[in-house]
């Protein structure tokens, strides 16, 4: 009755809950529902360059080129609210939503904004290529890790697979069964330090991510924005907003963890913490979830409970399904 692995269940009691469209917390901004955000700067550049030819990034957000970061942030959130697919099903709304996210990733970053103001999209592309080359060289120098195709990605999704350790030369690897992904948990020789003197890693930072049942049912991409403190080698500090894209698979269980390795606040002499998002079901006004079952609760008048009736059960996609009740319905009766 419901899509994918979910089944609708009729339950003879009433449940009322309030619906929250956006969830804003002090450190996390979570935009729930269907959205898209590119997972690399090259995707970001391509999307922004081709989606609306002739428009500048500032015109897309509706701000002037000398706008402050606060004005850019306010304009960005206004567009998120206006074009979010859960609110706006009009033609082109999804593309405008994605486009505003792509543009904000550039204009909210001081370095990328300066490059764009000076050299436009071509400058961003050139800077991306230089950053990739620099990152590969640094990884090879610090960790002794091969660069180029086949090397581990920037982040992985951890769905609690079994783990096994395997030693190879001076490096220790963590292998994930079934996924083929791996990442270094040892640092080898860095800045003259011995293997026994690896820098300490900050503890994981966890955030709950509320996801609607509609998004859980069909699968979606979720957007989370974190503010983190960047501390330089000279002990100077600045705040930075970092955008995370999280792939929600159909039927993903509440409590599933999605991990972004070493994406926390960098500090001199420390390995940044892992950022861990814990999937939680967002309260729904009509439905609750138990495992892979979606439960819908309803009160029946006594005459219908005794004599039978047809109940039109609402589904997550907005449609309804008829359910024939022939026998006597007792309190807490469940029907599939």
What does DSSP say about strands 237-248 and 275-281: parallel, antiparallel, or unpaired?
Answer: unpaired
pTM: 0.44
SS3 41: helix
Q: Where in the chain is the domain with CATH 1.10.287.110?
A: 57-121
Mind listing the pLDDT tens digit for each residue in 230-277?
887 777 888 888 888 888 888 888 888 998 988 888 888 888 889 999
**What is the token pair recorded at 4?**
């994918």
**Which CATH fold topology does 205-287 show?**
HSP40/DNAj peptide-binding domain (2.60.260)
Which of these, 135, 265, 140, lies nearest to 190 by C-alpha position? 140
Q: Where in the chain is the domain with CATH 2.60.260.20?
A: 205-287
Which of these, 331, 217, 328, lies nearest to 282 by C-alpha position? 217
Question: 243-247 — which CB contacts under 8 Å span 24+ positions?
Answer: 243/37, 243/101, 243/104, 243/105, 244/275, 244/277, 245/37, 245/38, 245/39, 245/221, 246/209, 246/221, 246/222, 246/277, 247/157, 247/219, 247/221
- What is the predicted pLDDT for the residue at 114? 85
Q: Which residues pair with 210 in a beta bridge?
A: 280
Q: Which residues pair with 327 in a beta bridge?
A: none
HSE at residue 324, side-chain half, CA atoms within 13 A, is 1
Is residue 184 within 8 Å of 191, Cβ to Cβ?
no
**What is the token pair recorded at 195?**
């293997």
Which of these, 209, 210, 213, lies nearest to 287 by C-alpha position? 213
- What is the predicted pLDDT for the residue at 135? 64
Show the low-confidence residues of the chain (pLDDT under 50): 1-54, 143-195
**Which CATH fold topology does 57-121 show?**
Helix Hairpins (1.10.287)
- What is the predicted pLDDT for the residue at 139? 55
**SS3 annotation, 90-150:** CCCHHHHHHHHHHHHHHHCCHHHHHHHHHHHHHHHHHHHHHHHHHHHHHHHHHHCCCCCCC
Q: Which residues pair with 166 in a beta bridge?
A: 173
- What is the predicted pLDDT for the residue at 312? 85
């Amino acid at each position: 009755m419901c899509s994918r692995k979910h089944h609708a269940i009729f339950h003879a009691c009433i449940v009322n809950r309030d619906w929250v469209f956006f969830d804003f917390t002090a450190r996390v901004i979570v935009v729930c529902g269907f959205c898209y955000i590119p997972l690399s700067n090259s995707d970001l550049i391509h999307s922004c360059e081709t989606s609306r030819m002739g428009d500048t990034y500032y015109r897309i957000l509706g701000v002037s080129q000398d706008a402050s970061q606060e004005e850019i942030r306010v304009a960005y959130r206004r567009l998120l609210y206006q074009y979010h697919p859960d609110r706006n099903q009009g033609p082109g709304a999804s593309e405008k939503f994605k486009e505003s996210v792509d543009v904000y990733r550039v204009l909210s970053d001081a370095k990328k904004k300066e490059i764009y103001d000076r050299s436009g999209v071509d400058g961003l592309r050139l800077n991306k290529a230089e950053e990739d080359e620099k990152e590969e060289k640094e990884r090879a120098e610090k960790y002794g890790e091969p660069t180029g195709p086949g090397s581990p990605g920037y982040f992985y999704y951890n769905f609690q697979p079994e783990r096994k350790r395997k030693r190879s030369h001076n490096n220790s690897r963590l292998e994930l069964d079934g996924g083929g992904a791996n990442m270094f948990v040892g640092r080898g020789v860095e800045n003259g330090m011995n293997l026994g003197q690896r820098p300490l890693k900050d503890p994981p930072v966890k955030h709950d991510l509320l996801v609607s049942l509609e998004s859980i049912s069909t699968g979606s991409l979720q957007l989370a924005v974190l503010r983190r403190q960047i501390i330089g080698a000279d002990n100077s500090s600045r705040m930075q907003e970092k955008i995370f894209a999280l792939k929600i698979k159909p039927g993903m269980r509440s409590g599933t963890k999605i991990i972004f390795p070493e994406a926390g606040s960098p500090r001199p002499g420390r390995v940044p913490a892992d950022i861990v998002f814990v999937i939680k079901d967002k309260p729904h006004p009509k439905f609750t979830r138990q495992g892979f079952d979606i439960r819908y609760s309803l009160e029946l008048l006594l005459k219908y409970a005794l004599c039978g009736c047809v109940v039109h059960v609402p589904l997550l996609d907005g449609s309804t399904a008829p359910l024939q009740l022939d026998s006597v319905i007792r309190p807490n009766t469940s029907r599939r």
